[in-house]
Amino acid sequence: MTAVTHTADGVHETPEKRLGINQLGMWLFILSESMLFAGLLMVRFSLLGTEIHEEVSQVIGLLITVILLFSSYTAFSAERAAARGDLAGAKRNLLLTLGLGTVFTAGVAFEWYEALEAFPPSTTFGSVFFTMTGLHAFHVLTGLVMLAIVYRRVKRNQLSSSDTWPMEASVKYWHFVDVVWVFFYPALYLIS
Amino acid sequence: MSDVQEAPETTETSGMGIGTMVLLVLGVLTVIEYLIAVSKPPGQLALIFVIAIGKAWLILVYFMHVKQLWKKEAH
């Protein structure tokens, strides 16, 4: 038997329908955010062509990329665990994702510390580099806050296997942040 | 009864297997990207971006389940 809820305007709504609407809304949000990052990517190529600064740290770039990719896997595992009702697994993988995300942010902060001397924001490459990594890091921080809220709910047993939308939404957002970095990494570190 | 209970477990295990496989492929593609950047072959820009698109596609399909959008439409 399917539970039916009534919206304010009296329309009958099943949980499946609500979930579908939520998912569509999330994808539209992700699409609109993609425009922002695509614009930044175009600005980067418009201003710099195929040029990158030789002092950009290849080691840090590669390391933080691998860390972010791995965090996507742990986020995926957390979502899977929550869906099958394994709250301990969900908690463990969420914690791992939070840790990896924090390490990524620390890596970016360290890169900024080095970059401030090598190519300050007053230079063309510097302004592009700091804007792109800064906006991305802000999204990483937002994702961390969302994941931390979900972790708190899982820890307090406030998340059931039938209502995993908060988990799904925050994990989707986290994967999106990863997809953005998949394009930013070569644009800022590799192409020359 | 036991068959009914085991089915989701098997699906779950294969889901995790796919996740691990996707992670490995993403790692290998990242290393290839890096090696292309270091060796600087002709058409480096195109090669690197084709790989980046491939990586994004993997994340979208296997981690973000983008296909659920049009699968729901079919019902």
- pLDDT tens string A24-69: 999 999 999 999 999 999 999 999 888 888 888 889 999 999 999 9
CA gap A97, A77 in Å, rounded: 10
Count of domains observed in chain B: 1
Closest by CA to A61, choosing from B62, B41, B38, is B38
Q: What is the pLDDT of residue A56?
A: 86
Query: Could you report the per-residue pLDDT of A68-94, keeping only the tens digit for each?
Result: 999 999 999 999 999 888 889 999 999
The encoded tokens of residue A112 equal 């900024």
pLDDT of residue A96: 97
Number of domains in chain A: 1
Q: Which helix (H) or strand (E) holds A6?
A: strand A5-6
Q: What is the CATH number of the domain that holds A92?
A: 1.20.120.80
Q: Which residues of B touch A66 (CB under 8 A)?
A: 27, 30
- The boundaries of the domain holding residue A90 are 5-190
Residues A130-146 pLDDT 10s: 999 999 999 999 999 99
A34: which 2 tokens?
A: 């993609």
Contact (Cβ atoms closer than 8 angstroms) between residue A84 and residue B10 = no
Question: Residue B63: which domain range?
Answer: 2-74
A157's tokens? 């047993």
Kindly state the tokens that stand for B51: 């790989």
**A192/B63 CB distance under 8 A:** no
DSSP string of A100-154, one letter each residue: HHHHHHHHHHHHHHHHHHHS-TTSHHHHHHHHHHHHHHHHHHHHHHHHHHHHHHH
Main-chain dihedrals φ then ψ at residue A6, nearest 5 degrees: -110, 130
pLDDT at A1 over 70: no
Question: Among partner residues A75, A190, A192, which is closest to B34 by beta-carbon distance?
Answer: A190
Buried b / exposed e over A136-155, threshold 16 CB at 10 Å, is bbebbeebbebbbebbeebe
Say what the pLDDT of residue B7 is: 41
A172 part of contact set with chain B, CB < 8 Å: yes
* Complex-level ipTM: 0.88
Ordered per-residue pLDDT tens for chain B, 75 residues? 333 333 444 555 566 689 999 999 999 999 999 999 988 888 888 999 999 999 999 999 999 999 877 775 554
